[in-house]
Amino acid sequence: MIKTTLIDARNVDQALPHVVDQVKKTAFIGLDCETQDDARHDGLNQFCGYDPVTRKKSKAKKLVFDMRRTVMTGFSVYPEDADEAYYINLNHADVENRIPWEAAKQILDAKAGDSLWLAHNAPYELAAFKHCFGYELPEIICTMQMAVSAYGPDEYNIENFRNAGRGAWSKLIPDMMKLCASGGFDVEKGDFTDSRLAELVYSIIGKQSKAAHSYNGYVNEIAYGYGLKKAVKSWFNHDMTTFDQVLGDKAHMGQLTGEEVCAYGADDAYWAVRLFRRLLQYMVDTNRDVPQTFFKQENPMIHLFAQMREFGMKVNYDAIFERRDLEREEMAKVLRSLKTNVSMLLPFPAEKHPGLLKRDKWYEKNADKYRDQVINWVNLPDEDDSYRQCQQVRGPVSNAWAAERGDRESKGINLSHYMPMRTIFYDLTGTKCVVSQNKTQSDAEARGKLIDRFMEENHLTAADVLRGIGEIASIEQRMKLYLTPYTLLTDPETGRMYPTVTSMLASRRMACEDPNAMQLAKRGDSTYVRGFFEGDMADHLVLSRDWSAIELVIIGELSQDPTFIDAYCQIPHKDLHAGSATAVLAADCEGLTEEMFKALRQHEKVETFLDRYGNDFTRHDRLFTNLKGEPLEPSSAYKYWRGEAGKNSNFNYWFSGWLATIGERMGWSQEKTKLATERYRDRFAVAEQWRVGLIEELAREGFVQLPDGHRRVRWEATNQWLMSFKQKFDMGSGPELASYNALVHWIAKKIQKRAYNQGVNSVVQGTCATIAKRTAIRVMARMKEMGWDFRIMRLMVPIHDELVFSIHHAHVVEGMHMLGECMNNHPDIFKACQLDSSPALGVTFEPFHAEKAPAGQIELYEAPKLPGVLPAETEGQRLNDDHVRAVADYLMFQKHQFKEAA
């Protein structure tokens, strides 16, 4: 522990000159600030779960700071090699001991021009000093981002893995052994015969599981970690004092005195310096390429992250509330209709459902409970008032509405929970369960299969019930992901949400929270959500530009596959999806060629196409029927299967090495899925060799190297890990343990295969991350050269392969071209394939639609029909500069129209 000194009104005159002198002559200075936002707006109070009386946050809710109302209670500095760290009291409870900002500022101003601040989660420090005091911290290193470059979120010391014991998994072993002994796992087939064992095992190996007994939970316990306290424990075996320990029964830092916070705050500044040195040494020891990547690519991004947080994203606040109210009314309407249809299916059969009894333990124990929930809900009278109607059930709509009114949450049936859903889907209707991996299914895909089944059986009411539950699921998802959080996150004074943008994913791609802009869909029922987002100012529009098929271009470049290169060696790119669709469909339609498939576009009727090609391939019904069993005309069949079989295969295969999703959607057997997969691989034989080579490299080295110098470490891919895992979880020899030990090996191979896929995915997605960050940095430099600031153009947010800007309408053409130059030119990586990107411009971020979204984003390289604005011949074409200006003028007219209407 470093000695800490509090600087406040009692010693500032004596201590300040000493601290200033130390800061002035030190190259690396740790920095940390403590803040409180007790004056946060009411929406954030509700979003974060703050108690209105105690003002304390519920531990179950996440923490989101209101930076506009944040008060810095103090900050700490630690000049490297000093004997002590210092904490400065700015706004603590001992008011008489506070020192003014102008005095404290002398410490920050003392830093020499070539020295650096070191802070863990530096974007927060950047935003806090800027918001609280208008103070800029340009030369700063983020040790959290440095940790991200040094290692992955699930990376750990191998010796710690070997010595960690069995963790929370040990509690499951007796049940696993018992179920294996009773024949629950078929060793020869490598499959489960007991659904209870299957459920147990998949809770361990689930990709998204965070439970302590899961493999992810096990790794999380021993991982190095990105948070300062966990990283310090990992690297220095030191337990830092936690925020909760310091805060005690107080609501925020401002209620503590400077003395109560001093050691905690100064400790953070000290350990930021220690961690910086340790991580730098670790990077040099393990991966000499990555320090340069961190300093030139990763650390510069923290300033952009802070800027995005500072400016926020402007939204149409009134439109959010208007849409929320519409969705609530629609929910009440669907519930009334659904209740009528469910009542028509009652009563439940006398016998319990055999399929659910076999696979669902909850049903075996509580079937009557969930039957009663359904019956009790149906027996409730319908309400004219939509609020009371929605309170008859429990879920995101009713819960948020009740919280808004200060009422208790409903205790009614939750129609989006899998237990009541399966009770209705299978128990009430009596139909056979949809099963995958020996587990009952009730997701959207299962609903679709059941609806098809009920329609074939002329069981129309049952089909309507499933459609109704699907509608409820859609409404609740939109409310949960968008409308409810948006109403709470938006600052009512500014009409903005302030996202936290980070780059801490395993792939090093950027992510966004509060709101999560990565969830904004371009298609489907939630497209309207994009329409809430607008440019920063009255004279701004939203300009976005996204890379075309960037993952596939990356695969083509890194693999040097000739088929990929042929498609992507020029701009515009050639179509890669039609050939892939042909290869996959040929597993069903034997003899189908790419020439035949492309010829679909030239035929209006199925009969004329079959007259020409019908004798050359089989299964015509497959080609002219979609997955819902609906007939397709030739041109529609081409478009449908190009996406369903071609595009989906191209974007799914490379991260799994198997067309499992395609096969399942097509209803294929394992043999036919294997055939389709082999035909797809044959089409890209060189790229397949590259993918297999990556996996072999990962299995051999335990990591793969990314083009920018980062590594994705997956020790799970190696034989050493496999042996360590089996040694850890095997239970010895003996015939009674053979099945259990075989299951352990099966689990290990599943985890190992996932590691293989993660390695390939990380190379592709990590290269996407590199391109996006380098582009963003390049764009900021170009803007500076052009003399542009935020009043002309600003990066609002990155969304997957898309960069979104707010831009002054008069500078759209220059901005569009500058973005294209920055985004498309990365010659250090792309030599055979060419990057391409397409711009779109709108008042809002919603895709343009003449009726639904006339102010939405217009594709400038694939123009829509826009009479009176664009000549008819531009439809579907790339617009020239004059046409782009005409689109900008049209959109500004739309913007003024909407403003006047509002």
Please give the share of the chain, as a percent, with pLDDT higher than 90: 87
Is the pLDDT higher at 832 or at 53?
A: 832
Residue 651: strand, helix, or coil: helix
Q: Is 22 left (phi over 0), alpha (psi -120 to 50) or beta?
A: alpha
pLDDT of 687: 98
> How buried is residue 655: exposed, middle or buried, by Cβ count under 10 Å (0-12/13-18/19+)?
middle
Is residue 437 over pLDDT 80?
no
Residue carrying the six token digits 């990556």: 694
Mean predicted confidence (pLDDT) in 453-478 = 94
Which residues, in sequence order, are CB contacts of 563 under 8 Å at separation 6+? 576, 579, 683, 684, 686, 687
Instruction: Give the CA distances from residue 452 to residues 408, 458, 467, 784, in Å, rounded to whole numbers and listed in that order.
Output: 39, 10, 11, 58
CA dist 609 and 598 (Å) reads 11
CA dist 702 and 716 (Å) reads 7
Triad 588, 652, 847: Cα angle to 5° = 105
pLDDT of 49: 85
pLDDT of 271: 98
Is residue 436 over pLDDT 90?
no
Work out the widest C-alpha separation in the chain, in whole angstroms. Answer: 97
- Report residue 60's pLDDT band, with 50, 70 and 90 as the boundaries: low
pLDDT of 661: 87
pLDDT of 207: 87
Range from 47-56, 582-591, 593-602 carrying the lowest mean pLDDT:
47-56
Q: Is 287 left (phi over 0), alpha (psi -120 to 50) or beta?
A: beta
CA dist 448 and 746 (Å) reads 32
Enter the pTM of the model: 0.92
> What is the enclosing helix (H) or strand (E) of 185?
strand 185-186
Count of beta carbons in the 10 Å neighbourhood of residue 681: 19
Residue 440: strand, helix, or coil: strand
- Report residue 31's pLDDT band, with 50, 70 and 90 as the boundaries: very high
Show the 3-state SS of 765-807.
HHHHHHHHHHHHHHHHHHHHHHCCCCCCEEEEEEECCEEEEEE
8 Å CB contact between 121 and 190: no
> Bridge partners of 713?
703
pLDDT of 52: 72
pLDDT of 391: 97
87-104 residue pLDDT tens: 999 999 999 999 999 999
> What is the enclosing helix (H) or strand (E) of 648?
helix 648-652
8 Å CB contact between 138 and 126: no
- Report residue 373's pLDDT band, with 50, 70 and 90 as the boundaries: very high
Which residues, in sequence order, are CB contacts of 830 under 8 Å at separation 6+? 553, 557
7-22 residue pLDDT tens: 999 999 999 999 999 9
Which residues, in sequence order, are CB contacts of 107 under 8 Å at separation 6+? 16, 19, 20, 23, 77, 86, 88
Is residue 899 over pLDDT 80?
no
590-603 residue pLDDT tens: 999 999 999 999 99
503-518 residue pLDDT tens: 999 999 999 999 999 9
pLDDT of 449: 86
CA dist 47 and 44 (Å) reads 5
Compute the residue count for the chain.
902
Domains and CATH numbers, the chain: 3-152+226-286 (3.30.420.10), 157-222 (no CATH), 317-489 (no CATH), 498-551+773-901 (3.30.70.370), 562-683 (no CATH)
CA dist 807 and 434 (Å) reads 50
CA dist 853 and 320 (Å) reads 15
601-658 residue pLDDT tens: 999 999 999 999 989 989 888 899 988 778 999 999 999 999 999 999 999 999 999 9
pLDDT of 325: 97
pLDDT of 900: 64
238-250 residue pLDDT tens: 999 999 999 999 9
788-799 residue pLDDT tens: 999 999 999 999
767-789 residue pLDDT tens: 999 999 999 999 999 999 999 99
CA dist 281 and 150 (Å) reads 10
Is residue 438 over pLDDT 80?
no
| Radius of gyration in angstroms for the set of CA atoms belonging to the chain, rounded to a whole number | 30
Please give the share of the chain, as a percent, with pLDDT higher than 70: 99
- Report residue 902's pLDDT band, with 50, 70 and 90 as the boundaries: low
pLDDT of 622: 87
Count of beta carbons in the 10 Å neighbourhood of residue 385: 9
Is residue 878 over pLDDT 80?
yes
pLDDT of 898: 72
CA dist 577 and 662 (Å) reads 14
Q: Which of 723, 704, 702, 721 is nearest to 712 (CA)?
A: 704
pLDDT of 196: 86
Average pLDDT taken over every residue of the chain? 94
pLDDT of 328: 97
Is residue 684 over pLDDT 90?
yes
8 Å CB contact between 71 and 37: yes
